[in-house]
C-alpha cells in the first residue's frame, strides 16, 4: 500500500508525509473516555489508521466455521487518537482523504441475525476478491466503494461497544463515509479520542445480512476542531449535501431524531418558522437507511447544501 517510515521516523504514504500512523495492533473494543490514547495529533495534522477487518482477521478459508471464531476479537477499532485542544462541547472535524483496502475480504451469514434473522438459514462464510476496483462475487463484478463502518469519538462517560452506535458515532455503517467526505463529531471527552475500523469494500444501504465485504486496510484522515459548539449527532458533508447521522432503538425513532435536527437546521438557516421549515423539509430532505442489523438502527437525513449552506446551522451551543 506504499506506506513506509523514512530515516527520520516520518510516515509517508505514496511519498506524502502523513506525520502520524496508528498500527492495526492498537485496538479498542469499546468507545470510552477511559481509553488511553495511543497517538496524539494537532489540528490540521494528517494521521494514517491501519485497520483490521470486523472479524479480527481470523477468517482465512471458507472452510472455517463461525464456531471457530474468537468473538472477543470481533468489532475492533484502531486508536484512539488524542486531538490536542479538543474539549467537551467542541466539534471534531475529520476529513477522509483516502481509503485503501486489501485484496481479500470476507462475508458471513449468521443464523438469527440480519434483516431476515427470523428466517431459517445456515451459517456461511465467503471470501471475496477485490481487484482493479471491482468486487468479484461468484462471477458477478461490482464496483468497489470502500467505506468506513465504524468511526467515532469517546462518549462523555461509561463505554459503548465498538459494534454499536450513538451520538458519538461508532458502528454507523453509513456507505457515504468514504474518501472525499468530511465528518463532524460532537466532542464529549478531552482529546476527542477518535478511533475507527470495520472497513467495507462495498456495502448497500441497510447492510441486510449483517455483513458487507469486511476487509482490512488503511485510512488517511486530517483532523481539526471547531471550538465551543457541536452538532447533536454526527454530520456528514459531501460536495453537494449534508447528512445527519442519527440512530434509535427503532427505525421510527432514528427517523425522528434525524428529521428534528434537519428541520431545526433549515429553520435557522432560512429564518423560517418551524411549520414552514417542516413543510420545506418534506420537499427537499431525503431520509435514507444506514443499517438495520445492529441493536440500534441508523438513518441519515440528507439535506441539499444549497438549502442550508453552512453546516453550523445544524449545531447547538
Highest-confidence range of 61-65, 282-286, 309-313, by mean pLDDT? Answer: 282-286
Q: Tens of pLDDT along 167-204?
A: 999 999 999 999 999 999 999 999 999 999 999 999 99
27-28/124-131 β-pairing: unpaired
Q: How many CB atoms lie within 10 A of CB 267?
A: 19
Structural domain for 239, as ranges: 235-314
Least confident of 1-10, 29-38, 73-82: 1-10
CATH number at residue 29: 2.60.120.580
At residue 11 the predicted structure's pLDDT band, cuts being 50, 70 and 90, is low
CA distance 30 to 148: 16
Q: Tens of pLDDT along 110-167?
A: 999 999 999 999 999 999 999 999 999 999 999 999 999 999 999 999 999 999 999 9
Among 177, 208, 226, give the residue marking a domain's end.
226
Q: Are residues 214 and 255 in the same domain?
A: no
DSSP code for 37: P
At residue 12 the predicted structure's pLDDT band, cuts being 50, 70 and 90, is low
Task: Kindly write down the DSSP assignment for every residue of 158-182, as one continuous string.
Answer: S-EETTSEETTEES---TT-STT-E
Among 203, 226, 249, give the residue marking a domain's end.
226
pLDDT greater than 60 at residue 8: no
Q: Are residues 12 and 148 in the same domain?
A: yes
Q: How many CB atoms lie within 10 A of CB 23?
A: 14
Total number of residues shown for the chain? 317
pLDDT value for 316: 81
DSSP code for 265: H
Q: At what angle do helices 274-284 and 251-270 cross, to 10 degrees?
A: 120
Q: Are residues 62 and 184 in the same domain?
A: yes
Q: Tens of pLDDT along 206-245?
A: 999 999 999 999 999 999 999 999 999 999 999 999 999 9
Q: Are residues 144 and 218 in the same domain?
A: yes
C-alpha distances in angstroms, 190 versus 90, 154, 233?
A: 10, 9, 18
Q: Are residues 150 and 211 in the same domain?
A: yes
Q: Are residues 105 and 27 in the same domain?
A: yes
Q: Are residues 168 and 310 in the same domain?
A: no
**pLDDT higher at 26 or 317:** 26
CA distance 317 to 311: 14
pLDDT value for 1: 47
- How many domains are there within the chain? 2
Q: Are residues 154 and 35 in the same domain?
A: yes
Q: Tens of pLDDT along 35-74?
A: 999 999 999 999 999 999 999 999 999 999 999 999 999 9
Q: Are residues 241 and 215 in the same domain?
A: no
Q: Are residues 110 and 61 in the same domain?
A: yes
pTM summary value = 0.94
Q: Are residues 244 and 117 in the same domain?
A: no
Residue whose entry in the numeric block shows the C-alpha cell 437525513: 301
CA distance 160 to 188: 13
CATH number at residue 296: 3.10.28.20
Strand order in the sheet with 11-13: 3-5, 11-13, 16-17
What's the average model confidence in pLDDT over 75-99? 98
Among 174, 208, 226, give the residue marking a domain's end.
226
Q: Are residues 241 and 220 in the same domain?
A: no
| Beta-sheet strands, E only, within 11-102 | 11-13, 16-17, 20-22, 27-28, 30-31, 39-41, 46-51, 77-83, 91-101
Amino acid at each position: 500500500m506504499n506506506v513506509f517510515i523514512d530515516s527520520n521516523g516520518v510516515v509517508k504514504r505514496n511519498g506524502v508525509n502523513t506525520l502520524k500512523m496508528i498500527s492495526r495492533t492498537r485496538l479498542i473494543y469499546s468507545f470510552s473516555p477511559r481509553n488511553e490514547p495511543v497517538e496524539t495529533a494537532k489540528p490540521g495534522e494528517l494521521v494514517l489508521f491501519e485497520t483490521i477487518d470486523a472479524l479480527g482477521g481470523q477468517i482465512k478459508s471458507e472452510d472455517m466455521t463461525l464456531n471457530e471464531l474468537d468473538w472477543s476479537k470481533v468489532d475492533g477499532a484502531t486508536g484512539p487518537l488524542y486531538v490536542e485542544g479538543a474539549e467537551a462541547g467542541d466539534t471534531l472535524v475529520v476529513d477522509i482523504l483516502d481509503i485503501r483496502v486489501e485484496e481479500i475480504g470476507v462475508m458471513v451469514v449468521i443464523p438469527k441475525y440480519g434483516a431476515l434473522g427470523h428466517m431459517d438459514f445456515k451459517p456461511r462464510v465467503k471470501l471475496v476478491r477485490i481487484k482493479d476496483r471491482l468486487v468479484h462475487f461468484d462471477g458477478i463484478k461490482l464496483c468497489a466503494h470502500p467505506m468506513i463502518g465504524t468511526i467515532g469519538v469517546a462518549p462523555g462517560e461509561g463505554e459503548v461497544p465498538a459494534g454499536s452506535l450513538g451520538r458519538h458515532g461508532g458502528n454507523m455503517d453509513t456507505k457515504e463515509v468514504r474518501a472525499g467526505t468530511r465528518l463532524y463529531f460532537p466532542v464529549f471527552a478531552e482529546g476527542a479520542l477518535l478511533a475507527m475500523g470495520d472497513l467495507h469494500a462495498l456495502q448497500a444501504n441497510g447492510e441486510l445480512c449483517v455483513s458487507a465485504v469486511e476487509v482490512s486496510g488503511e485510512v488517511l484522515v486530517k483532523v481539526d476542531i471547531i471550538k465551543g459548539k457541536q452538532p447533536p449527532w454526527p454530520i456528514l458533508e459531501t460536495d453537494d449535501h449534508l447528512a445527519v447521522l442519527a440512530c434509535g432503538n427503532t427505525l421510527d425513532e432514528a427517523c425522528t431524531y434525524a428529521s428534528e435536527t434537519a428541520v431545526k437546521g433549515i429553520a435557522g438557516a432560512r429564518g423560517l418558522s418551524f411549520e414552514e421549515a417542516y413543510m420545506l423539509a418534506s420537499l427537499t430532505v431525503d431520509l435514507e437507511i444506514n443499517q438495520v442489523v445492529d441493536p440500534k438502527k441508523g438513518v441519515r437525513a440528507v439535506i441539499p447544501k444549497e438549502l442550508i449552506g453552512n453546516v453550523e446551522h445544524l449545531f447547538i451551543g
